[in-house]
Structure formats: C-alpha cells, structure tokens
Chain A
Amino acid sequence: GAVVSQHPSRVICKSGTSVKIECRSLDFQATTMFWYRQFPKQSLMLMATSNEGSKATYEQGVEKDKFLINHASLTLSTLTVTSAHPEDSSFYICSAGLQSGGYTFGSGTRLTVV
C-alpha cells in the first residue's frame, strides 16, 4: 500500500521549453506532497511542500515562478519546470506524507535540458 507513481521517469527537453512531472498517489489520499531535487552524488534538497487545495510553500532560494507546483486533488501533484535551462538538469523526486508518520516516495524523474 501507499504507492506514489511518478512520471515520466526520464525526460529530455530543449532549453527554453517547459516540462511537467506528475506524481499520483495510487491507493491513498495525499494531503501533503513534498518535492525534492537531487544533484549527482548529493543528497536530496527539499524544494517545496504542497498541501491539497492551497499554494505550495517553497524553501528559501527556490524560484516559485520557475518551479510551479500544483496540488489540485488528493491524488495528484505536479511540478512544472518552466523555461528550462541546462542548470535545471537534475533528478526530481516527489514524496507523500502518510498518516502513520512515514513517507512514501516516487521513483524519480531524470530531467536533462539540452
């Protein structure tokens, strides 16, 4: 139980275009979703916390206009990287908080901007 499905797993886009990453909770309702970014050989850095039906809370230094997060339903949260540039290339992972106190993670999206 408590599975989060993240798509796509890999995406290559041209510089200047936008990319949308989806995370769906398959068998539970995700009230809170977290979006992380991971650079090669580094740890996960929290980008933002989103609660269903309200605006996301961004961590310091994360551009909210560049990384658009939508959490319109209890089963879907999306991250859109707008006007992507090569420096946005990274591994993006979503996570949902569980009522039990734990977390479940998506399988990640490898974004490459060329």
Chain B
Amino acid sequence: AQSVTQLDSQVPVFEEAPVELRCNYSSSVSVYLFWYVQYPNQGLQLLLKYLSGSTLVESINGFEAEFNKSQTSFHLRKPSVHISDTAEYFCAVSAGGSEKLVFGKGTKLTVNP
C-alpha cells in the first residue's frame, strides 16, 4: 500500500519569494507521483506528474518537482511565487492508472503581498 506525508499543513510566504512544499511517500512498488492544486470551492487541477523518465518535472506556471527515489520524496518548488499561487496543494501517489490515487493531507500555501 502507498502513503503520502506532507510535512507542512500551512506555508505562508511573501510575494516573489521562493517556496518549497515537501512531500514524502512510501510504497513497496514503483510509483507514479502527482501534485494537484485546489482553489477554494473548486475541483482539483493537475500541476505536474512523474510517471517515468527525467526525475525533474515542470509545470507551465513555473513550478517544478524532483523525484528522489533514495529519499522517497517529491518536493514541489517555485523560485518566485505570486499572489495567485495561493491555494491548497496536494501530493498524491499511485501504482498506476487503474490503481487508486492516495493523497497527502495537503499544504495550504498563502502568498502575502
């Protein structure tokens, strides 16, 4: 079975500062890793995913995450955040598309002016 730990429930930062949202996972099999973003009262939007290949994956809005197998981590980073990045971020893991997706508890990112 897979599990996900998001170490920080809340991360407040100032606009244009860098941010890292931490995610660690446990699994006995190869995994697929995901980061989703959720804005208030909305569904989930895929931010980025690691399925195979390059361990560094990037999103179109400046976020990136690196799959580190030895540390079982998939931390999310952005070098300079905007007010509009304020949202809840969920890390998730699965063993494949027909397998269930297991979510972390989420990290609320608040970007202050």
Contact = CB atoms under 8 A, between A and B. Distances in A.
Given A102-B46, A108-B43, A95 B51 contact: no
Contacts, number: 57
Nearest to A6: B43
Helix, strand, loop or mixed for chain B's interface? loop
B49 to A, nearest CB: 6
Interface residues on A, range: 20 to 34
Interface residues on B, range: 20 to 34
A110 interface: yes
Nearest to B97: A97
Helix, strand, loop or mixed for chain A's interface? strand
Contacts of A102: 32, 34, 46, 49, 51, 97
Interface of B: 32, 34, 36, 41-44, 46, 49, 51, 90, 94, 96-106
A18 interface: no
Interface stretch (A43-51, A61-69, A75-83): A43-51
10 contacts: A44-B103, A97-B99, A98-B97, A100-B51, A100-B97, A101-B51, A103-B34, A104-B46, A107-B43, A108-B43
